[in-house]
Structure 1
Amino acid sequence: MEIKPNPVQVIPPTNEQKELFEAPFKQEADLAVALEKPKLTSEQLTSIPDIIDGYQLSSKDKHDLLFDALVIDQKELYYFVDEKGYIMRHFTDEPTGDDKRFVNFEDVLMDMKKTQLNEQNFEYLKTGLKYLGFGDNLSYALEVRLKEGSDKFTLGASAAFPTPTAKDMVNYELRFSKSKSTDNYFLNDYKASLEKGNPDGTFQEPVSRVFALNVGNDITAKEAYNLLSGRSIQKKAEVTDKYTVLAGGQETAKVLNIPDARAKIQELAKTSAAGDYAIQGKDNIVIKTFDKNGKETPVKTARENLQIIHAFIQKNDKGNNDIPYDVQDMAGAKQMVKELIKDKNTQGITLTEKGVPIAKFDEKGKEVELTPTKRKEEVWMKLDFENKNAQGDYKFRTFFKNYGYDLDKAVAAHPIKELNDPEQRERLMSSLKRGNLQSVTLIKNETEEKAFVAASPQFKNLTLYDKDLKLVYEKAQDAKVENQENRGYQRSR
């Protein structure tokens, strides 16, 4: 895979500019209108190159290029801007092939003195592009856009992904914006559009999605291609443990925080005939109990493995330091809290049972609401092409660890030759986790057969294709599984 920058794109004329330009050519145009010409905005001027194919553009040339065509008589060619804003090249005395039709960044020179380049920010953005798999080919285009000094700009790029039967194309639109308080720019997100190739060289209708960045463990260019192709990838996510609301010992709801759990209990107390209610945390640890009217009551069950976590800041120390103390019972825990808050550097105190937080206190020993606990976990995710979010993008389907997908087990269920070599096995597993369609060798009846496989967490198996990419096998190993799928996804570094 090689990421290539898209052709040079300029800011196209507005409808008002177009009408003003076309007015003199209309029969009903009056003289006053006919003498007035549309002016280019400063943003439009900075987006247009100063030199194209060695030819220096004047102000009139830029005007002609944007609104009509820039004709170069001595070279017998002209340039124009298409409906997407790309600069196009057309030869008048010979056919213009696809390789010459678009004007690319290597064909132009821009005025690099419009603004002073923030070298540190430039290097930071280049490093970010490499991390996302876009390589170095966008560096010049990035430098040009940064020196233009606009509040926002986009960079276009494309990549070809050959398959055994065709070639897929992905177009990327990377969106940058300038900080409101500094001269730093940030890459906020990118839109990836996949055009699946057909064996006859044609392409299917594009499938697109915007992928947000700077939210942790960002999706790379190749992973975006795999997701848009319908495959699953594994990413490290920040998982928030939910609280369970019980009514009469039966689970009725799962919520993200204690206030929502309290509100749910108050609602149930008005309509339900349950004799009591409770809030449970992870591993079925009881956090709080309530009577039939929704009034909080002391927890009656015996507490086991109680521990207090004392969070404080030491002098001359910038970091938080958490010190654990084992306690025998709730009475001992309350007494320990009273002792610990005498330390003026106390930040907070958390009481846990078997490692699960059941109460929290501020620096003065006052009980406060528990905050949701978060942990990092490897999760599988794919796009749900049947559902979209409020922004019009396909939602994620996410399969957490407790969904039960075991990639090792799924791979071992197939007679894959590469599993016999530790290095090849490691490469295969790593490739499947990134969502790749991986070539393998199947051993059947002592004969070798080429095939392709992809991870299929939804069915707890592998998706198997033959050497011509025809689907052979996609079936759940165990259809009777408790559904631990979550359609939300929060990434984390």
Structure 2
Amino acid sequence: MNEKNVGYLKDQLKYTGFGEGLENVLVENIQKGNLEFKLDHEAKYGTDTVLTSLNFKKSEQSDMYFFNSYNMKIQKEGQPEELSQTFYINRDNNITAKEAYNLMEGRAVNKDLKNKEGEVYNAWIKIDFKVADDEKGNFKLNHYHQNYGYDLEASLSKHPIKELETPKYKEDLINSLKKGNLQSVTFVIAGEERKQFVEANPHFKTVNVYDSSMQRINDQKKKQSESKAQGKDVKQNQDADAESGPGPQKNTKKKKQGNSI
């Protein structure tokens, strides 16, 4: 058994976010000499059960094994469907287990990546659940390059977030959002502190804001605007009926029909 190779694989498991609990079963599989094998990992994020299958393969030219990819499935409490995605292991472009979970939750992750020429660039990654990327059923990963122009700090500064006033808290907040986390923050509105949540939204160059009940603030405002608009239309129609007077019965019916369409 190639001890150096085993040590490298153990480090890969640890720094990709799968901890040290799989080390013994990793060694056992390598000692068997199988050409390929899988390791199963289970974790909980809140009420979500995350099942991950890690794929290993032996080199055709040597006794070395490689950690090639992992398939992650998320089981939501009370929901029969499982969301699944395969993430591939590259030396410089690894996505950690927690980052993978955040991506599968629909959030964006910021990474320093390397292109084929070995040049480092920064990008936000987000899964496009509307587009299948390959025959295995994986979804497409959208990349928002640094030249796309998303400024997370500037987007946060548009909101009255208390943590932005303290450099250390501000740095922690930005780092957490870059990892794809949904982060709790304190909004100060009219002198009153409110616990809310924020997440990065590179596509629209903003941040999504949720209240303490995890209802998106943007959606609430939209619904309120639509409700006000509908109320205004109803009032205008009522005023129009009042101004027209009783009129012939035939005309009144036409107006009622027009209001109901």
Aligned to 1:182: 62
Aligned to 2:129: 385
Aligned to 1:225: 101
* TM-aligned CA distance change 1:375 to 1:147, over 3 Å: closer
Aligned to 2:186: 441
Secondary structure of 2:18's counterpart equals coil
Aligned to 1:195: 75
Q: In structure 2, what is the Cα distance between the partners aligned to 1:239 and 1:466? A: 39
Contact 2:92 2:114 (8 Å CA) reproduced: no
Percent same amino acid at aligned positions? 40
**CA drift at 1:390:** 2.4
* TM-aligned CA distance change 1:436 to 1:155, over 3 Å: same
**CA drift at 1:422:** 1.0
- Which of 392, 407, 419 matches 2:152? 407
- Which of 81, 84, 87 matches 1:205? 81
**CA drift at 1:426:** 0.6
Contact 1:452 1:466 (8 Å CA) reproduced: yes
Alignment size in residue pairs: 219
**CA drift at 1:402:** 2.3
Alignment of 1:45-444 (within 5 A): 117-162=1-46, 167-197=47-77, 202-238=78-114, 375-391=119-135, 392-444=137-189
Q: 4+ residue runs of structure 1 moved beyond 3 angstroms? A: none
Compare CA radii of gyration and give the structure with the larger one: 1
| Structure 2 alignment gaps of length 5 or more | 221-261
Deviations 1:54-99 (A, max 9, x none): xxxxxxxxxxxxxxxxxxxxxxxxxxxxxxxxxxxxxxxxxxxxxx
What is the TM-score of this pair, normalised by structure 1? 0.43
| Structure 1 alignment gaps of length 5 or more | 1-116, 241-372, 476-493
Aligned to 1:450: 195
* TM-aligned CA distance change 1:425 to 1:204, over 3 Å: farther
* TM-aligned CA distance change 1:145 to 1:407, over 3 Å: same
Q: In structure 1, what is the Cα distance between the partners aligned to 2:32 and 2:4? A: 17
Contact 2:93 2:114 (8 Å CA) reproduced: no
Deviations 1:288-339 (A, max 9, x none): xxxxxxxxxxxxxxxxxxxxxxxxxxxxxxxxxxxxxxxxxxxxxxxxxxxx
* TM-aligned CA distance change 1:159 to 1:412, over 3 Å: same
Contact 2:132 2:138 (8 Å CA) reproduced: yes
Q: In structure 2, what is the Cα distance between the partners aligned to 1:474 and 1:145? A: 50
Contact 2:199 2:209 (8 Å CA) reproduced: yes
Question: Which residue identity does 1:383 align to in structure 2?
Answer: I
What is the TM-score of this pair, normalised by structure 2? 0.79
Deviations 1:449-487 (A, max 9, x none): 111111000111111111121222279xxxxxxxxxxxx
**CA drift at 1:135:** 0.8
Q: In structure 1, what is the Cα distance between the partners aligned to 2:216 and 2:162? A: 20
Normalized per residue, the structure richer in helix is 2
**CA drift at 1:177:** 0.5
Contact 1:463 1:474 (8 Å CA) reproduced: no
